[in-house]
């Protein structure tokens, strides 16, 4: 019976013919393309939260997608379920319609919520399904909540096909903007696109891909981007990266459907009689390209470029339509081994059947460091633009270098480029090359009809390409990153058919196998490779030039000189440009994961078309170090042979390795935290492609990534954010054994920074000590809010690991080799260090000297040298070791360790007295940046550990990010003074009251206002 009706209700209609008639009327009112001016469905594409779903596909947001064929179905194990629809703001609602599914609620209540007040508008214990319409009489509503207590089916959960709320508001769906394309504006990278699932579109391809089609009700789309990102940006989904919201999103809807993109273009009349080309830099997974109803072609594979001449198909006197049909992955459905929802104790299940579709965004199938990304990052994820010119196109130019001798005084440059003739007749013309606007070269070229021709300019034809005293490009830490300009033009009958500019660096890489290990030399200098793995640039591919520039600079600032592009997941030109700019070499994988993480691709031809295209556009970058065929395995023979052949044929200047973890490289972690002794005994002598780090973030970031109720104790939500079986549990055990049992999330995070610092530094100090080829951290870039595998987190807040690794990777570095028990100095520069002094001192917690020694030392370039043994016996309490390398009064390197007590732990750090730190700040401006020189003075009689500077918004209390520090997490002896330099873009400070915070392990907190001017 009906328990309570507070407002007029149209009762459940029992007769089938009436149900159909009523539904017809409702659907007509709601979904008609006309008549939206008075009433709109204010629930459509709004955020919906469900209590549970029967699987990864039938999720809550499907009840507001405008399609009765999709539905939410709750899990059957618990009859108590709810559905919450967020209308985004208070809105006047006229009617609420619920289309119940086959499994309908029999006992439930419906409430509306506004201003944090809930009002029950309907309740029954005798629900009969069908279509239910409630008259809400214009009430203000922000949330609609349906609470379910019982259902009509004992073996299935409750299902709802659609929820419609009719109300009066400003229509969210605005007419699309038309792109205005001219010679000075050829980009289609913007938000003037629309996207929609083919499941929601009934019209023909011809209608959709022609001008005049009404796509007003489609989702606004940003290109480059992903389909999932577009729905989130429009407010149709909760933040997929917060809490367990990814489980609120239907996998089938986003991963198992094809999607249309549309945009309209108006060309300027100045483009009349010009050749117009449409270029796509990357669409995942496969796509059909249309303009004005004409199919231009198909792009197959997630990383293949496409260029189409559209001159004959465009109109200059009216808008033109570009439409792209993006096809979903063939093998998006998860295999039976895959863990779809992580819980504490869940086993690791990396990769999936998606490997069959390679190359595609394989990482988005989910790994131990990343959830399954719904939609698998399908969409137009890379740049789109027009090019205007003649029939000859300049394709993929690049410059290679060969030095005539070891003294680097003369470099021979070779310029290579392809010329493509898109016409049906041979064309004669001139290729003109200019280097830095100074050296001009010219060559006559004939390109046959429809031919793509390779043209090479070298010293055999042009003596000017032998450069005297060249300005060189060096990896980070070994010299400057001097980038120079190559400008190419192809002239036909006195007119420019095409022109191209690229940046190049004069440098030569050599590859030497020494005792079975691959070593890399740049410009005749051995490079100690220090770096990190990137799995994805960002979970939803939200990365532009500024984002790449910032993150690669963070690697440069951490004294890294290499990033591994793990299984080829980072493919934006802007990433390679940033690596060129900052001297960060790229260890570049193709798209093959560990064979255990999914099957081999099923189409060699598709794979190799993508691979050949990749080689052509990446080879121009001086930062590209070498190619790798497969992660942790040998590729199938035909793949291996094809990749090796094409890297030699299309590049020829770079090394190719089969396997990231065997042969001349090593790998396989470990991924759990080990003691510093372990690293010094067992790592550092090879080129090691993956060595794991946990790196729990700071408490503020923990609060950003999950609800407060899940912060403590450690819960399943931690597992959603990659707190995983064995590795993370071991991390916690090690943390509590060494630093004491954690009592809260704050305490856990604080203690984690101690462990982060110790272990992160040791990983790279062992490389410094053994002078192996290189160490590549697993991982350095955080693709999503995670509890593992990062130096800075997804919010760009540093962990202590960042500054530990920065310290351990210093180009000139004094350190303690715990295995040899020696104080050593590494010099990873091109200059010898002469007449320096190394000093080592052990202190107690009050700063009293326990032992000290100093000694003169000189170290040749790219080498390591022992100074003296450390004399140390573990005491009752933790002691502290400080190292300083000085020359002529200048500190070249300093270092700091806490030494475990005789019980092999550091528990007494919990008893350290609070230390007083005085701050002196000298503020200044540098262009658009706020800068400050901060002097920290320990005025107390106690050691002060891991002091960290933060800038915070006084109103919200949140940290201002990102901020660049030359050091942080610094430890101070009594009366010691340290200076930290910071730099932050003023745009992050705008309209904020900013204060500087000092925090530390045992430091009394400080807050100081800053001057932003």
Mean pLDDT, residues 479-502 taken together: 98
Mean pLDDT, residues 375-379 taken together: 99
DSSP bridge partners of 181: 267
- The predicted-structure confidence for 602-633, as pLDDT tens digits, reads as follows 999 999 999 999 999 999 999 999 999 999 99
The average confidence (pLDDT) of the chain is 95
Mean pLDDT, residues 435-457 taken together: 98
Mean pLDDT, residues 406-423 taken together: 98
For residue 6, pLDDT beyond 50: no
Q: At 168, is the pLDDT very low, low, confident or very high (cuts 50, 70, 90)?
A: confident
Q: At 5, is the pLDDT very low, low, confident or very high (cuts 50, 70, 90)?
A: very low
Mean pLDDT, residues 870-887 taken together: 98
* % of the chain exceeding 70 in pLDDT: 96
For residue 554, pLDDT beyond 50: yes
pLDDT at position 562 is 99
For residue 580, pLDDT beyond 60: yes
Mean pLDDT, residues 926-939 taken together: 96
pLDDT at position 217 is 94
Write the CA distances from 476 to 73, 484, 556, 654, integer angstroms: 54, 17, 7, 19
- The predicted-structure confidence for 281-304, as pLDDT tens digits, reads as follows 999 999 999 999 999 999 999 999
- The predicted-structure confidence for 18-42, as pLDDT tens digits, reads as follows 443 444 444 444 444 333 346 899 9
Write the CA distances from 437 to 282, 441, 479, 488, 706, integer angstroms: 32, 11, 24, 11, 54
Burial pattern 153-178, b for ≥16 Cβ within 10 A else e, equals: eeebbbbbbbbbbbbeeeeebeebee
Give me 89's structure tokens: 């703001």
Please, what sign has the CA dihedral across residues 351, 354, 356, 361?
negative
Closest by CA position to 552, among listed 258, 57, 964, 31: 964
DSSP-assigned states of every residue in 509-534? EEEEEETTEEEEEETTEE--EEEEEE
DSSP bridge partners of 58: none
DSSP 8-state symbol, 346:
P
pLDDT at position 9 is 38
Mean pLDDT, residues 246-267 taken together: 99
Closest by CA position to 536, among listed 563, 556, 560, 565: 565
Contact indicator for 231, 308 with CB cutoff of 8 Å: no
pLDDT at position 1013 is 64
Q: Say if strands 517-522 and 427-435 run parallel, antiparallel, or are unpaired.
A: unpaired
pLDDT at position 77 is 83
For residue 585, pLDDT beyond 60: yes
Contact indicator for 502, 620 with CB cutoff of 8 Å: yes
Contact indicator for 544, 520 with CB cutoff of 8 Å: no
For residue 107, pLDDT beyond 90: yes
DSSP bridge partners of 455: 417
- The predicted-structure confidence for 625-674, as pLDDT tens digits, reads as follows 999 999 999 999 999 999 999 999 999 999 999 999 999 999 999 999 99
From the CB of residue 432, how many other CB atoms can be counted at a distance below 10 Å?
16
DSSP-assigned states of every residue in 133-194? EEEEEEEEEEEEEEEEEEES-SSS--EEEEEEEEEE---S--PPPEEEEBTTB-B--EEEEE
pLDDT at position 725 is 82
Residues 6+ apart with CB under 8 A from 12: 127, 128, 129, 130, 131, 132
Q: Say if strands 863-869 and 822-827 run parallel, antiparallel, or are unpaired.
A: antiparallel
For residue 85, pLDDT beyond 90: yes
At 251, phi and psi to the nearest 5? -70, -45
pLDDT at position 1006 is 95
For residue 15, pLDDT beyond 80: no
Q: At 715, is the pLDDT very low, low, confident or very high (cuts 50, 70, 90)?
A: very high
DSSP-assigned states of every residue in 425-492? S-EEEEEEEEETTTEEEEEEEEE-TT-EEEEEE-TTT-GGGEEESPPPB--TTSS-B--EEEEEEEEE
Q: Where are the alpha helices (DSSP H) in 293-339?
A: none
Domains located in the chain, CATH noted: 2-168 (2.60.120.260), 178-328+375-385 (2.60.120.260), 397-504 (2.60.40.10), 811-910 (2.60.40.10), 912-1009 (2.60.40.10)
pLDDT at position 124 is 98
Q: At 376, is the pLDDT very low, low, confident or very high (cuts 50, 70, 90)?
A: very high
- The predicted-structure confidence for 348-361, as pLDDT tens digits, reads as follows 999 999 999 999 99
- The predicted-structure confidence for 777-802, as pLDDT tens digits, reads as follows 999 999 999 999 999 999 999 999 99
For residue 110, pLDDT beyond 60: yes
- The predicted-structure confidence for 385-398, as pLDDT tens digits, reads as follows 999 999 999 999 99
At 174, phi and psi to the nearest 5? -105, 155
For residue 76, pLDDT beyond 90: no
pLDDT at position 34 is 38
CA distance 524 to 527: 9
CA distance 126 to 134: 16
From the CB of residue 369, how many other CB atoms can be counted at a distance below 10 Å?
26
Least confident segment among 36-40, 519-523, 819-823, 851-855: 36-40
For residue 975, pLDDT beyond 50: yes
Give kind and range of the element (H or E) at residue 917.
strand 917-926
pLDDT at position 171 is 81
For residue 726, pLDDT beyond 90: no
Q: At 473, is the pLDDT very low, low, confident or very high (cuts 50, 70, 90)?
A: very high
CA distance 931 to 984: 7
Least confident segment among 76-90, 424-438, 656-670, 817-831: 76-90
Please state whether the peptide bond connecting residue 842 to the residue before it is cis, i.e. omega within 30 degrees of 0. Answer: no
Please, what sign has the CA dihedral across residues 812, 818, 820, 822?
positive
* % of the chain exceeding 90 in pLDDT: 93
Token look-up 């043994």 returns 869
For residue 4, pLDDT beyond 50: no
């Amino acid at each position: 019976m009906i328990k309570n009706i507070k407002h007029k209700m149209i009762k459940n209609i029992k007769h089938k013919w009436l149900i159909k008639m009523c539904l017809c009327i409702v659907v007509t009112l709601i979904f008609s393309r006309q008549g939206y001016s008075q009433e709109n469905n204010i629930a459509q594409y709004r955020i919906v939260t469900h209590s549970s779903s029967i699987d990864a596909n039938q999720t809550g947001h499907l009840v507001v997608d405008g399609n009765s064929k999709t539905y939410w179905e709750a899990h059957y194990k618990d009859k108590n379920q709810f559905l919450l629809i967020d209308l985004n703001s208070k809105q006047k609602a006229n009617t609420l319609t619920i289309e119940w599914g086959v499994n309908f609620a029999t006992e439930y209540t419906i409430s509306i919520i506004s201003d944090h007040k809930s009002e029950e508008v309907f309740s029954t214990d005798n629900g009969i399904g069908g279509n239910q319409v409630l008259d809400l009489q214009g009430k203000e509503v922000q949330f609609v909540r349906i609470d379910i207590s019982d259902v009509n089916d004992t073996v299935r959960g409750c299902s709802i096909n659609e929820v419609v709320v009719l109300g009066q508001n400003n229509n969210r769906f605005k007419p699309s903007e038309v792109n205005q394309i001219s010679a000075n504006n050829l980009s289609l990278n913007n938000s003037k696109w629309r996207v929609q699932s083919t499941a929601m579109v009934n019209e023909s391809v011809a209608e959709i891909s022609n001008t005049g089609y009404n796509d007003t009700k489609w989702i606004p789309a940003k290109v480059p981007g992903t389909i999932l990102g577009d729905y989130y940006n429009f407010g149709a989904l909760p933040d997929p990266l917060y809490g367990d919201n990814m489980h609120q999103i239907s996998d089938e809807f986003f991963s198992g459907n094809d999607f249309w993109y549309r945009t309209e273009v108006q060309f300027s009349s100045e483009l009349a009689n010009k050749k117009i080309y449409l270029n796509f830099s990357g669409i995942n997974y496969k796509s059909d390209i249309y303009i004005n109803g004409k199919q231009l072609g198909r792009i197959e594979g997630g990383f293949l470029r496409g260029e189409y001449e559209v001159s004959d198909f465009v109109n200059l006197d009216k808008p033109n339509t570009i439409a792209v049909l993006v096809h979903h992955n063939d093998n998006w459905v998860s295999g039976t081994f895959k863990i779809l929802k992580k819980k504490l104790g869940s086993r690791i299940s990396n990769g999936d059947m998606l490997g069959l579709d390679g190359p595609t965004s394989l990482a988005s199938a989910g790994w131990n460091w990343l959830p399954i990304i719904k939609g698998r990052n399908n969409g137009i994820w890379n740049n789109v633009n027009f090019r205007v010119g003649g029939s000859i196109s300049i394709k993929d130019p690049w410059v290679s270098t060969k030095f005539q001798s070891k003294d680097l005084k003369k470099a021979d440059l070779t310029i290579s480029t392809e010329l493509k003739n898109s016409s049906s007749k041979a064309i004669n013309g001139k290729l003109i090359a200019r280097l830095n606007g100074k050296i001009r070269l010219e060559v006559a070229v004939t390109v046959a009809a429809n031919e793509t021709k390779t043209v090479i300019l070298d010293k055999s034809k042009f003596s000017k390409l032998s450069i005297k005293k060249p300005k060189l490009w060096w990896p980070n830490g070994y010299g400057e990153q001097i980038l120079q300009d190559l400008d190419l033009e192809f002239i036909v009958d006195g007119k420019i058919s095409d022109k191209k500019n690229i940046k190049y660096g004069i440098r030569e890489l050599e590859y030497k196998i020494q005792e079975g290990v691959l070593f890399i030399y740049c410009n005749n200098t051995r490079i100690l490779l220090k770096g990190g793995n990137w799995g994805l640039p960002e979970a939803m591919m939200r990365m532009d030039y500024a984002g790449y520039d910032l993150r690669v600079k963070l690697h440069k600032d951490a004294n890294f000189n290499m990033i591994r592009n793990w299984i080829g997941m980072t493919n934006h030109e802007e990433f390679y440009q940033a690596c060129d700019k900052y001297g960060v070499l790229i260890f570049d994988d193709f798209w093959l994961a560990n064979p255990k993480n999914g099957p081999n691709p099923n189409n060699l031809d598709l794979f190799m078309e993508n691979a050949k295209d990749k080689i052509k556009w990446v080879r121009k970058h001086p930062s590209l170090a070498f190619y790798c065929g497969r992660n942790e395995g040998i590729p199938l023979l035909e793949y291996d042979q094809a990749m090796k052949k094409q890297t030699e044929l299309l590049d020829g200047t770079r090394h190719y390795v089969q396997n990231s973890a065997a042969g001349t490289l090593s790998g396989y972690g470990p991924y759990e935290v080990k003691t510093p002794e372990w690293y010094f005994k067992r790592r550092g002598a090879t080129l090691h492609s993956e060595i794991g780090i946990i790196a729990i973030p700071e408490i503020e970031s923990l609060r950003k990534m999950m609800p407060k109720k899940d912060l403590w104790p450690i819960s399943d939500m931690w597992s959603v954010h990659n707190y995983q079986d064995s590795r993370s549990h071991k991390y916690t055990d090690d943390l509590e054994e060494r630093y004491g049992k954690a009592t809260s999330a704050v305490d856990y995070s604080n203690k984690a920074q101690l462990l982060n610092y110790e272990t992160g530094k040791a990983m790279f100090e062992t490389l410094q000590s053994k002078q192996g080829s290189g160490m590549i951290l697993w991982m350095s870039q955080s693709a999503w809010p995670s509890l593992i595998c990062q130096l800075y987190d997804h919010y760009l807040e540093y962990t202590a690991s960042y500054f530990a690794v920065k310290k351990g990777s210093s180009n000139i570095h004094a350190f303690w080799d715990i295995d040899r028990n020696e104080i050593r100095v590494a010099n990873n520069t091109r200059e010898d260090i002469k007449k320096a002094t190394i000093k080592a001192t052990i202190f107690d917690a009050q700063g009293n000297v326990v032992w000290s020694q100093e000694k003169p030392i000189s170290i040749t370039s790219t080498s390591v040298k022992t100074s003296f043994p450390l004399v140390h016996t573990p005491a009752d309490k933790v002691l502290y070791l400080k190292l300083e390398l000085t020359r002529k009064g200048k500190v070249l390197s300093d270092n700091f360790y806490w030494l475990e007590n005789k019980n092999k732990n550091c528990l007494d750090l919990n008893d350290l007295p609070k230390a007083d730190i005085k701050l002196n700040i000298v503020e200044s401006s540098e262009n658009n940046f706020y800068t400050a020189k901060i002097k920290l003075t320990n005025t107390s009689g106690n050691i002060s550990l891991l002091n960290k500077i933060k800038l915070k918004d006084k109103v919200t209390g949140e940290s201002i990010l990102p901020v660049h520090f030359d050091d942080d997490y610094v430890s101070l002896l009594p009366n010691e003074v340290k200076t930290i330099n910071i730099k932050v873009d003023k745009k992050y400070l705008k309209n904020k009251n900013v204060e500087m915070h000092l925090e530390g392990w045992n430091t009394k907190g400080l807050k100081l206002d800053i001057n932003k001017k």
